[in-house]
A and B are shown apart, each in its own frame.
Chain A
Amino acid sequence: MTTIAELPPGFVDKVLSAQSTFRSVMDAMARPGSVQRIVPMAGTPDTMMRGTAAIALTLFDHDTPLWLDARMSESSDVLKWLKFHTGAPVVPDSSIAAFALIGDGGALPSLERFALGTNEYPDRSTTLIIQVDSLDAGRSFELRGPGIDGVATLLASIKPFDLFERLRFNETLFPRGIDVVLVADDAVVAIPRSTRVMSKGG
Chain B
Amino acid sequence: MNAPAYNFAYLDEQTKRMIRRAILKAIAIPGYQVPFASREMPMPYGWGTGGVQVTAAILGPQDVLKVIDQGSDDTTNAISIRKFFAKTAGVATTTSTDEATVIQTRHRIPETSLHANQVLVYQVPIPEPLRFLEPRETETRRMHALAEYGLMHVKLYEDIARFGHIATAYAYPVKVNARYVMDPSPTPKFDNPKMDNCPALQLFGAGREKRIYAIPPYTQVVSLDFEDHPFEPYRFNAPCALCAAENSYLDEIVTDDQGSRMFVCSDTDYCEGRQAAGHHGALSAAPYKDKAQEASNG
Interface residues of A (CB under 8 A from B): 14-16, 18-20, 22-23, 25-26, 29-31, 58-61, 63-64, 98, 118-123, 125, 127, 146-150, 174-175, 177, 179, 192-194
With CB as the reference atom, state the residue of chain A lying closest to B30: A146
With A146-B218, A175-B179 known as contacts, the answer to whether A194 contacts B29 (CB < 8 A) is yes
- Would you give the shortest CB distance from A71 to chain B, in whole angstroms? 24
Interface pair A16/B24, CB less than 8 Å apart: no
In the complex, 10 of the A-B residue pairs with CB atoms within 8 angstroms, ordered by the A residue number, are A15-B7, A20-B60, A22-B20, A22-B57, A23-B60, A147-B217, A147-B218, A149-B199, A175-B180, A179-B24
B155 proximity list for chain A (CB < 8 A) = none
- Would you give the shortest CB distance from A189 to chain B, in whole angstroms? 14
Interface pair A19/B8, CB less than 8 Å apart: yes
Q: Considering the chains assembled together, what is the distance between the CA atoms of A19 and B16 in angstroms?
A: 9
- Would you give the shortest CB distance from A161 to chain B, in whole angstroms? 24
With A26-B23, A29-B28 known as contacts, the answer to whether A120 contacts B179 (CB < 8 A) is no
Interface residues of B (CB under 8 A from A): 7-9, 13-14, 16-18, 20-30, 32, 34-35, 57-61, 141-142, 144-146, 177, 179-180, 199, 201, 214-220
With A26-B27, A29-B24 known as contacts, the answer to whether A59 contacts B58 (CB < 8 A) is no
B216 proximity list for chain A (CB < 8 A) = 29-31, 146-147, 194
Interface pair B59/A19, CB less than 8 Å apart: yes
A121 proximity list for chain B (CB < 8 A) = 35, 141
Interface pair B13/A15, CB less than 8 Å apart: yes
Interface pair B201/A30, CB less than 8 Å apart: yes
Which of B61, B180, B215 interacts with A16 by CB under 8 Å?
A: B61
